[in-house]
A and B are shown apart, each in its own frame.
Chain A
Amino acid sequence: MRLLRMSKQAIRSMAENKTRTFLMMLGVIIGVATLTVITSAVLGARAEVMGKVEKWGIDQISVMAGAGRKPGVPQTIPTTLRIEDAQAMLSEIENIKDVSPQINRRDFPVKHGGNSTYGVLVAANPNWSSVWNTKPETGRFLSEEDTGRLARVAVIGKTVQKDLFEDEDPVGKQILVGNNPFEVIGVLEARGTSPTGLDLDTRVVIPLSTGQKRVFNQDYLFTIKTVLHDSSTMGQTVDDVRALLRERHNLQTGVEDDFTIVTPTQVMAIASKLSTIFSVFLILITGISLTVGGIVIANIMFIAVNERREEIGIRRAVGARKGDILIQFLMEAVSVATTGGFIGIIAGFLGLKALAGFIKLPTALMWESTVLALFSAIIVGLLAGIQPAKKAASLNPIEALR
């Protein structure tokens, strides 16, 4: 009851000086608003990445030619990864269900009539469709026959279709892949963006044999995508693959791998690394603005304690204990900070809405971030209020009333 009455007094004195109160809140508002935006965005982005990785396949690993490769980063590629390696992996490692040997190249020019675009050229076998879990939406996918006769046929992604054919049906039409004419035999279903930021619908899939002989003129591979029977023993399988390939490539102990094995966990890590760097930076900003907000509150509270000496003296004279004065000023600081926190959350929410217009961000306000933001505001209020409140409580009432 007594505490309730005292909190009323604290809120009153906050309302009595609106400009000052707003200035006190400003730092907290900015800090909490950024905190709300960041945590919502990061949590949302993470959820999105997880969703994509699941779609990409958590039971899959990729072997990429070259050491220390990261998905999506181009570099000189050794010629040691062979189609025989893929066959050996399938026959010798029990947990491997299927393999898709591939040659991929980004930014490959594709033309039709007057339209041109750049796609990801993928030379692969007919089982690519099941390994990547991507079916043709119209037309058909590559067949064994296409591979056998080195057919110039291509299955294209949605984006390529749109860029080259607009609304026209592309099946049966000719396209130029580099300088080679190919017949479009199918259009792949839409897959969106990969966890690493690649537009999967820009893919142009041709038979591996055709790619090796007619386009890339190379007999080595860039990638072997692998589907496992049991993803729970993925670690063991990765070790098996590494041992097998090292043996097949005659790598002595101590020599670095000439290939890289990428697992979904790694892809997740890479995908979230960027958002982590981003969020660390912004959390730093949040920390700074909350600290500044706290310092502002502390300073204005100190001034207020000086200006309100008479009030403190009066309250002490009519029976307020030191602890009552301490609590009153502490509650004032905390209510200022908490109110700032609420306003900050609203500002952050509006900020998220506004941001959503520019970049692809989840606009949902996460309750975790709201709780975190309010909690930080209360902590800031407590930390900022404690010294001024102590000073107020320790004022000699006689001096204060003089």
Chain B
Amino acid sequence: MIEVSHISKTFQKDTVEVQVLQDISVTIQEGEFVSIMAPSGMGKSTLLNILGCLDKSTEGTYVLDGVPVHDMDDDELSRIRNEKIGFVFQSFHLLPRMTAWENVTLPLVYSDTNSNMKARAVQVLESMGLADRVDHLPRELSGGQQQRVAIARALINNPRIILADEPTGNLDSSSGEEVIRIFRQLHAGGVTLVVVTHDMDVALQADRTIQMKDGRIASDVARARQSAEVAT
């Protein structure tokens, strides 16, 4: 599903070159639930942005779903983001003047779909337990509800991959647990999940945890708990 090899990323900061990622190679299979852990500022968001086709690596190759994306132009990357990737952010990033369902339909605006956008949005919101919040504005919702609207938005176009950057970082513990529960459900449904976090409790929910340090992969540990979890 995701094959990155020998990826490096350098930023030009004033006159100094900062190397954020150094020679990272990782392969994520379809349907995997992977957490990436690192102290803040250690390049995990950059890696996530590259995986999400929002950013490009300075060096290395990236093959997504069998397609090499590292030399695609901006329009092609936008299309990939629209069709294959759903983002979930720490600060939700909902449009404040749009209702929940309108926020959820945003990816459809830029897709080729002609279906009834509202009906689809309402359906996804219902699956997030937000059936009675469809016409609410983000400021009328709690943090946990906002993040569930954001997840609904990430799911509306049936993406292959969900990328989440500290999805529980701005939530209280019960809301955070709700989000993780939803992620495990999605995982059970076959969606590939990559979650960046520095919260060990969240990281341990994944099947596999990649630890990063100084822009390199420090460890890559898989856990055999997926089957047990699904069975319960």
Contact A315–B110 (Cβ < 8 Å): yes
**Which residues of A lie under 8 Å from residue B83 when comparing CB positions?**
319
Indicate whether B106 reaches chain A with its CB closer than 8 angstroms.
Answer: yes
CA of A5 to CA of B116, assembled, Å: 12
Contact of A324 among B97, B98, B110 (CB under 8 A): B110
In this complex, the member of B55, B93, B110 whose beta carbon has the largest number of chain A beta carbons within 10 angstroms is B110
Task: Identify which of B71-79, B140-148, B174-182 touches chain A.
Answer: B71-79
Contact A319–B97 (Cβ < 8 Å): no
Indicate whether B35 reaches chain A with its CB closer than 8 angstroms.
Answer: no
- Per the 8 Å Cβ criterion, residues 106-164 of B in contact with A are 106-112, 114, 117, 153, 157
- Per the 8 Å Cβ criterion, residues 43-80 of B in contact with A are 49, 52, 54-55, 74-75, 78-79
CA of A318 to CA of B107, assembled, Å: 5
Contact A320–B110 (Cβ < 8 Å): yes
- A-B interface contact total, Cβ < 8 Å: 68
Q: How far is the CB of B17 from chain A (nearest CB, A)?
A: 18
**Which residues of B lie under 8 Å from residue A322 when comparing CB positions?**
74-75, 78
Given contact pairs A1-B114, A2-B109, A398-B55, A319 touches B93 in the complex (Cβ within 8 A): no
Indicate whether A145 reaches chain B with its CB closer than 8 angstroms.
Answer: no
Contact B93–A320 (Cβ < 8 Å): no
CA of A150 to CA of B231, assembled, Å: 130
Contact of B75 among A1, A6, A315, A321 (CB under 8 A): A321
A1-44 vs B: 1/0 string, CB under 8 Å?
A: 11001100100110010000000000000000000000000000
CA of A317 to CA of B87, assembled, Å: 7
CA of A311 to CA of B102, assembled, Å: 13
Contact A2–B112 (Cβ < 8 Å): yes
Q: How far is the CB of A188 from chain B (nearest CB, A)?
A: 72
Contact B107–A319 (Cβ < 8 Å): yes
**Which residues of A lie under 8 Å from residue B55 when comparing CB positions?**
398
Given contact pairs A316-B54, A323-B75, A397-B54, A9 touches B93 in the complex (Cβ within 8 A): no
Q: How far is the CB of A349 from chain B (nearest CB, A)?
A: 34
Contact B95–A316 (Cβ < 8 Å): no
**Which residues of B lie under 8 Å from residue A321 when comparing CB positions?**
74-75, 78-79, 110
Contact B78–A319 (Cβ < 8 Å): yes
B181-212 vs A: 1/0 string, CB under 8 Å?
A: 00000000000000000000000000000000
**Which residues of A lie under 8 Å from residue B106 when comparing CB positions?**
314-315, 318
Given contact pairs A322-B74, A397-B54, A317 touches B110 in the complex (Cβ within 8 A): no
Indicate whether A371 reaches chain B with its CB closer than 8 angstroms.
Answer: no
**Which residues of A lie under 8 Å from residue B97 when comparing CB positions?**
12-13, 16
Contact B114–A319 (Cβ < 8 Å): no
Contact B49–A316 (Cβ < 8 Å): no
**Which residues of B lie under 8 Å from residue A310 when comparing CB positions?**
93
Indicate whether B33 reaches chain A with its CB closer than 8 angstroms.
Answer: no
In this complex, the member of B75, B89, B97, B109 whose beta carbon has the largest number of chain A beta carbons within 10 angstroms is B109
CA of A317 to CA of B52, assembled, Å: 9
Indicate whether B82 reaches chain A with its CB closer than 8 angstroms.
Answer: yes
CA of A315 to CA of B107, assembled, Å: 8
Contact of A320 among B78, B112, B157 (CB under 8 A): B78
Q: How far is the CB of A66 from chain B (nearest CB, A)?
A: 74
Indicate whether B81 reaches chain A with its CB closer than 8 angstroms.
Answer: yes
Contact B109–A6 (Cβ < 8 Å): yes
Indicate whether A304 reaches chain B with its CB closer than 8 angstroms.
Answer: no
Contact of B111 among A12, A317, A319 (CB under 8 A): A319
Given contact pairs A321-B74, A401-B93, A9 touches B87 in the complex (Cβ within 8 A): no
Q: How far is the CB of A315 from chain B (nearest CB, A)?
A: 7
**Which residues of B lie under 8 Å from residue A12 when comparing CB positions?**
97-98
Given contact pairs A5-B109, A319-B107, A319-B111, A313 touches B78 in the complex (Cβ within 8 A): no
CA of A279 to CA of B118, assembled, Å: 52
- The residue of chain A having its C-beta at the shortest distance from the C-beta of B79 within the complex is A319
Q: A5-B117, A398-B49 are in contact. List 6 more A-B contacts (CB 8 A).
A: A12-B97, A314-B93, A318-B82, A319-B83, A321-B75, A323-B75
Sampled A-B contacts (8; CB under 8 Å)? A310-B93, A317-B52, A319-B82, A319-B111, A320-B109, A320-B110, A322-B78, A401-B93
Residues of B within 8 A of A (CB): 49, 52, 54-55, 74-75, 78-79, 81-83, 87, 89, 93-95, 97-98, 106-112, 114, 117, 153, 157
Residues of A within 8 A of B (CB): 1-2, 5-6, 9, 12-13, 16, 310-311, 313-324, 397-398, 401
**Top 9 closest pairs, chain A to chain B, by CB:** A319-B82, A318-B107, A319-B110, A321-B78, A5-B109, A319-B81, A321-B75, A320-B110, A16-B97
